[in-house]
Copies of this chain bind each other. A is one copy, B any other.
Amino acid sequence: MTPDDFRTAGYRIVDFIADYRARVESRPVMAQTAPGEIKAKLPKTPPQQPESFDAILGDLDRIVMPGITNWQHPRFFGYFPSNGLLSSVLGDYVSTGLGVIGLAWQSSPALTEVEEVATDWLRQMLGLSEHWSGVIQDTASTSTLIALLCAREKATDYSLVSGGLQAELRPLVVYCSAHSHSSVEKAALLAGFGKSNVRVVPHEASNAMRPESLEQMIAEDLARDRRPCAVVATTGTTTTTALDPLDAIATVAHAHGLWMHVDAAMAGSAMILPECRYMWKGVEQADSLIVNAHKWLGAVFDCTIYFVRDPEHLVRVMSTNPSYLQTAADGRVKNYRDWGLPLGRRFRALKLWFLIREQGVDGLQARLRRDLANAKWLEAQITAMTDWHVLAPVPLQTLCVRHEPAGVAGDALDRHTLEWVARLNQSGEAYLTPALLDGRWMVRVSIGAELTEREHVAQLWRLMRDAAAS
């Protein structure tokens, strides 16, 4: 494909995406295809001869698109908002089109320096002090793994460059809560801690971690000759957006030399609103912190910002320096390859930089405030009904909801919940995620897609009542 062919085909792709975004509301939210249905429509073997762009675009439209669950739909209330604002999309288009790679600073200086600037802009927007340095990673899962590797290496005085984890005698322990994201346990297991060294700290009725319980578990582990290593606290848990008390947890963590990692993957976006910052009071005392700019904030996936207090430690854990990557500029510049797992890196900063510039801080703040108000409105509607319940505090944009008809309880209530939400999702009219809370199914309503206005929340509320009643 020549640049001129690309110009013609590129316009068509831009039109395709513009039309998709403009009309996304007319599509079913959840894909309506059966398992294997799309695969069955695609050739099993690769084409020997080149195919026309028309053929590719035709199959995209006819075969692929029905298999898309439309995250940008205004009635997408599942999982979490994964906004990819169109300015951010264009920033990523530039990155992809340029086809440059970050290996060393020299391999594209702008890739590194715009990332320094854009992540520092975000730091300021979140109200974080100058003691934090940011770097873009792909996801929170990867970033939490990095945090726990850094914790492990701090506790073991860099065992990785000597005998490794097996040379450490006292078992290292990681603390989280039952409401921590699944990626926390996954990261701990992959980092080699072992499931029996991942301790689940009890939580309050609000679903927030109990610092006194953390203190008590640490004492127990010390008494058993274990070595407390790290605690992961969450600002805005996945299931209920619960807020772990960071300052109290930090006090315990510091008293015992634990690494403190804060998972603000979802709720971090809200910290661009000064009125929300009470939620992570104490965050300055953490060692590492993640905010997913690719969720509510609107940078198109993937764009997790990993903030650290001590980048030198991070670099010491992650660095490699073979001869073919050495350049004369080393020592005077950042080489972000030593701030994470991959050696090669995309120019991800462009999508964040385009987003912040095109929206301005004011624009981003206004949208998030709209969503918080919509959540409050829906909460008021639901709590006004006798057979509907909001099951957890609503500090942000996620509601945990259950329809509890008179006389229906226990397993029957679970069945009712899963049935009505499946009916609603299958209708394609809206999309919600069921989840377990205290051992029983309920439904999460996660508000905050870019296109979601009050009218869509009101439509959802009607659809929920209809689905539960039918």
Please tell me if the beta carbons of A96 and B93 are within 8 angstroms of each other in the complex.
yes
**A44-B152 Cα distance, complex, nearest whole Å:** 34
Q: How many copies does the complex hold?
A: 2
The reply on A103 being an interface residue by CB < 8 A is yes
Pick from B6, B111, B194: contact of A159, CB under 8 Å:
B194
Q: How many residues of A contact B (CB 8 A)?
A: 164
Q: Tell which of A33, A38, A333, A350 has the most Cβ of chain B within 10 Å.
A: A38
Known: A192-B191, A301-B101. A114 touches B360 (CB 8 A): no
The reply on A394 being an interface residue by CB < 8 A is no
Shortest Cβ gap from A350 to chain B (Å): 8
Known: A82-B101, A183-B343, A361-B47. A324 touches B239 (CB 8 A): yes
The reply on A457 being an interface residue by CB < 8 A is no
Residues of chain B within 8 A (CB-CB) of A167 are 171, 194
The reply on A357 being an interface residue by CB < 8 A is yes
The reply on A377 being an interface residue by CB < 8 A is no
Pick from B46, B100, B110, B141: contact of A341, CB under 8 Å:
B141
Sample of 18 more A-B contacts, CB < 8 Å, known A47-B356, A51-B357, A139-B344: A7-B15, A7-B18, A11-B14, A13-B90, A38-B113, A46-B121, A46-B122, A47-B357, A50-B363, A53-B87, A67-B111, A69-B107, A79-B107, A89-B99, A96-B96, A149-B190, A186-B320, A301-B344
Residues of chain B within 8 A (CB-CB) of A166 are 165-166, 168-169, 171-172, 192, 194, 197
**A346-B80 Cα distance, complex, nearest whole Å:** 15
- One of A19-27, A282-290, A383-391 at the interface: A19-27
